[in-house]
C-alpha cells in the first residue's frame, strides 16, 4: 500500500432526527355525505421550517365521535360539526392507536 492525497467525491445519505416544536392543519376536508374527514398536518421546527407532513382519514367510529357532543370534548362543542381542538383530540387518539385508522405520511423534500 502507498500513501496518496487524492480527493474523491462520494454521495452519502444521512438520516437526521429533527424536533418538531409545533404542528398545524394544512388541509381539512369534511364530506358529510360520505361521512369522512380528510386532514393534513404539517410539522414545524424551532426555526419555523416545515419538516414533515402527515395525512389522516377520519371515518367510522372516530367520525361519529368527532361529529357528536361527547363529554370527551371541551364544553360548547357543536353537534354535527367540530372545532380545531376537537380534531386534535381525534388525531391524538389515532396516534395512540395506529391500527384504528391508516396513516399516510407524505414525503417532504427539504431544500
Predicted TM-score (pTM) of this structure? 0.74
Question: 20: burial class by Cβ within 10 Å (0-12, 13-18, 19+)?
Answer: middle
What percentage of the chain has pLDDT greater than the value 70? 86
Q: What is the pLDDT of residues 60-86, one digit of tens each?
A: 999 999 999 999 999 999 999 999 999
Residue 62 resides in a domain: yes
Residue 74 resides in a domain: yes
Residue 2 resides in a domain: no
Residue 31: helix, strand or coil by DSSP?
strand
Residue 80 resides in a domain: yes
Residue 11 resides in a domain: no
Number of domains comprising the chain:
1
Q: Are 55 and 40 in contact (CB under 8 A)?
A: yes
Question: 68: burial class by Cβ within 10 Å (0-12, 13-18, 19+)?
Answer: middle
List the Cα angle 106/107/111 in 5-degree steps: 135
Residue 81 resides in a domain: yes
Report pLDDT for 36. 96
Residue 57 resides in a domain: yes
Question: 27: burial class by Cβ within 10 Å (0-12, 13-18, 19+)?
Answer: exposed
pLDDT class of 101 with cuts at 50, 70, 90: very low
Domain range for residue 41?
22-106
Q: What is the pLDDT of residues 5-26, one digit of tens each?
A: 787 888 888 888 999 999 999 9
Amino acid at each position: 500500500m502507498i500513501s496518496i492525497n487524492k480527493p474523491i467525491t462520494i454521495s452519502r445519505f444521512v438520516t437526521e432526527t429533527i424536533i418538531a416544536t409545533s404542528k398545524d392543519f394544512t388541509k381539512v376536508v369534511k364530506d358529510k355525505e360520505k361521512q369522512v374527514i380528510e386532514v393534513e398536518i404539517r410539522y414545524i421546527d424551532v426555526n419555523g421550517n416545515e419538516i414533515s407532513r402527515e395525512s389522516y382519514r377520519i371515518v367510522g367510529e372516530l367520525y361519529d365521535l368527532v361529529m357528536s357532543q361527547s363529554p370527551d370534548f371541551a364544553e360548547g362543542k357543536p353537534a354535527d360539526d367540530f372545532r380545531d381542538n376537537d380534531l386534535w383530540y381525534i388525531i391524538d387518539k389515532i396516534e395512540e392507536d395506529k391500527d384504528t385508522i391508516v396513516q399516510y405520511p407524505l414525503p417532504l423534500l427539504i431544500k
